[in-house]
Structure 1
């Protein structure tokens, strides 16, 4: 399998793993939901888990890869406020936890770029 095919599939695996985690351990995700969002944090946790699973499926199929990759890039931008909330909420935690929360912030950039690259790799090939 060429590298250009593996990359979107690896991204799909990452999203699928995260999506399943939203259902397996929702409490940790509930805590990252910004209070400004209406409704229950659990609803947002489950909705984002469903979105991650749907994006993973879209990336796994070549016919839907371009659209799913573009949506994945937008999703990574959209969940950034949750990562900011986590970093703020964890600022007084032990150094390792604080570092993990802060490390998530710049990680969004390569994730967005990875998704955009997967979209470009799927252009013109149907």
Structure 2
């Protein structure tokens, strides 16, 4: 399978795995929800998990791939504040946890670019 076909499926797999994790272990995600958001953190955790599952389905299907991949790029930008919150909240944690939280910050850019690349490779496929 060529990379151009594999890449969207890998992105869909990543999104699906993350989406399922929000439902399987919501507590860890609840702690990442900024307090400035209205409502309960669990609601935001489940909502973001559902969005990730929907994006995964959209990216996996050629007919919706371009739109879903662009939405995925926007989603990755949108969840960046949660990653910043995690890095701030975990600054006093043991070194491995702190490193994981800080390491997530620069990973957002490649994720955004990956989703954008999937969208660009899906041009004209409807």
**Pair in the same fold by TM > 0.5:** yes
Task: Give, in whole Å, the separation in 2 of the partners of 1:112 and 1:99.
Answer: 21
SS in 2 for 1:35: coil
Question: How much has 1:18 moved relative to structure 2?
Answer: 0.3
Question: How much has 1:2 moved relative to structure 2?
Answer: 1.5
Task: Give, in whole Å, the separation in 2 of the partners of 1:62 and 1:74.
Answer: 19
SS in 2 for 1:96: helix
Q: Structure 2-normalised TM-score?
A: 0.99
- Which residue is equivalent to 2:3? 3
- Which residue is equivalent to 1:31? 31
Task: Give, in whole Å, the separation in 1 of the partners of 2:125 and 2:62.
Answer: 9
1:40 aligns with 2:40: yes
Q: How many residues align?
A: 126
RMSD of the TM alignment (CA)? 0.5
- Which residue is equivalent to 1:96? 96
Deviation string, structure 1 residues 92-123 (Cα, Å, up to 9, x no partner): 00000000000000000000000000000000
Structure 1 residue runs of 5 or longer lacking an equivalent are: none
Q: Residues 49-68 of structure 1 correspond to what in structure 2 (within 5 A)?
A: 49-68=49-68
SS in 2 for 1:38: coil
Question: How much has 1:56 moved relative to structure 2?
Answer: 0.1
- Which residue is equivalent to 1:120? 120
Q: Structure 1-normalised TM-score?
A: 0.99
